Amino acid sequence: MISLLLLLVIPLIGSAVVLLLRRIEDNLIEYVVETFVFLTVAIFLLSLLTGFSSFAFPILPLIKFNLALSLNGISLPFLLIAVLVPIFALLPAHKEIKDEKSTFYSLFLLIYAMIIGIFISSDILLLFIFLEITLVSMFFLIYLFGEKETRAKASVEFLIFTQLGSLAILAAFALLFSSTGSFALSSISSSHVSFFDSIIILSLMIFAAMIESPVFPLHVWVTDAYDSSPTPIVILLSALVSRLGLYFLLLIGFLSLSSTFTVFQPLMWIGVLSVFYLAFVAMAQSRFKRMAIYSSALYASLAFVGVMSGNSTAIYGSIFLMVSYSFITSAVFLIAGDLKSLNGTDDMTFIRGLLSSSPHLSFFLFVFLLASLGLPGFSNFIGEFVTLLGIYTVSPWFLVTLAALLIVTAFYLNALKRLAFGRSIKGIRDIPRTEIVNLSFLAFIIILLGILPSLLFNIVGLGI
């Protein structure tokens, strides 16, 4: 068995090494970063075969605060995306990050380590510390490497909204500690929390989840933060950071306070409203990246509906959907970056004929947009179907979300029509081989999960 501590320590060492080597050539820095990332991935894959070993070390015995690392049925699926998704952000980082590479990659590896730490922490205070380091590091990435005209506004909005969510989580964790006398998830799940305290804790956690996911009307920070950021940062935000709020809610809501959670079932309608609102806003976009931004938030809202239902089938489907769409949204934002780099713009009004001018890009555009709208054979179909099946069990009325998914189908097919067909624009290049390899691996993952969903469902559980 391999200790979970290695998954945390290796990227941290990599972050420190990159800072120490900041004066060396950029190519060598990129090689160092890739080495530490792929070493972490290799250890994770090996651990899947040999097993994971928990780790515990007392930090502050007075308040029973420990460096405690372990896995449960909720955390393992999220750990999968935490370890694998950043691989696909490395290639666009090489292309788009031209200055201060050591600073970027040091923060990149720090965030990599902290997000892994969040998903392996079994102490909620430790989990909160990892969350704060992640959010502050993301603030600096957006501020330092976003578009000059908008990055200040985007980074401040990101920090304000996410810190509101963090304060809500901290207050919830403090109340949990006062009620149970422990920060350990195993102790909290077996302790009794009064109904009144449970209501307050879950209210705070739901508020935080709506900000982080994000869910309407607390989604307003997303557009500027995503649109201002280069592709690698957007991938981290959309595929990983946006999963944290619902992950915390699942941990606390179903490992500790499941008996109280059904009180909040009516909040499913907020998620349904968010799905419709974001679908219409996405449909109105002319820029491909902005359409992808709202689409990403839309599927997070659908997962929110599934989680708030309290139905185990819908929750399983929501977890699957979040994992699935993390890979899909990474691919879609990679394509958005390619469209802008090859055409000088991602405005679909001025791009056409990609099928003849950029056949490889067109192929992946077809694959990932069809995967996004839930075509059978792709992973999103499984996530959507199981989530909606669970929602239907709670109340058939919630299947009105199907109408919003039809809107998604309409604007994705319209995007395909506008981009791929028509007379091609001369001088447009196709994507390079490295990008083809990157997108091919993402396509392989979503097709594999679409054909063999049991690979993921078998490791999902709602207990420690």
The pLDDT of residue 460: 66
pLDDT of 198 higher than 60: yes
Angle between helix axes 379-394 and 359-372 (nearest 10 degrees) is: 20
Report yes or no: 464 and 189 within 8 Å, Cβ to Cβ. yes
CA 382/CA 414 separation, integer angstroms: 24
The share of the chain scoring above pLDDT 70, in percent, equals 95
Specify the residue for token string 């109408």: 403
**Model confidence, pTM:** 0.90
The pLDDT of residue 462: 47
Give the mean model confidence (pLDDT) for residues 312-324: 89
Beta strands 52-53 and 2-3: pairing type?
A: parallel
CB atoms within 10 A of CB 58: 11
pLDDT of 320 higher than 70: yes
Mean of per-residue pLDDT scores for the chain:
84
The pLDDT of residue 393: 83
CA 213/CA 246 separation, integer angstroms: 7
Specify the residue for token string 């959670």: 261
Alpha helix segments (H runs only) across 284-311 = 288-308
pLDDT band at 4 (very low <50, low <70, confident <90, very high): confident
Query: For the chain, how big is the Rg over CA atoms in Å?
Result: 21
The candidate with the shortest Cα–Cα distance to 41, out of 100, 82, 3, 91, is 82
pLDDT of 463 higher than 50: no
Give the mean model confidence (pLDDT) for residues 111-120: 93
pLDDT band at 292 (very low <50, low <70, confident <90, very high): confident
Domain borders along the chain are 263-464
Number of H helices, E strands in the chain: 22, 4
Amino acid letter at 327?
F
pLDDT for 43-67, tens place per residue?
998 888 888 888 778 887 777 778 8
DSSP string, 4-69: THHHHHHHHHHHHHHHHTTTS-HHHHHHHHHHHHHHHHHHHHHHHHH-EE-EEEEEEGGGTEEEEE
pLDDT for 342-362, tens place per residue?
777 777 777 777 777 778 888
pLDDT of 101 higher than 50: yes
CA 77/CA 198 separation, integer angstroms: 26
Q: How many CA atoms lie within 13 A of 378 on its CB side?
A: 20
Q: What tokens were used for 104? A: 């970027």
pLDDT of 29 higher than 90: no
The pLDDT of residue 428: 63
Give the mean model confidence (pLDDT) for residues 417-437: 72
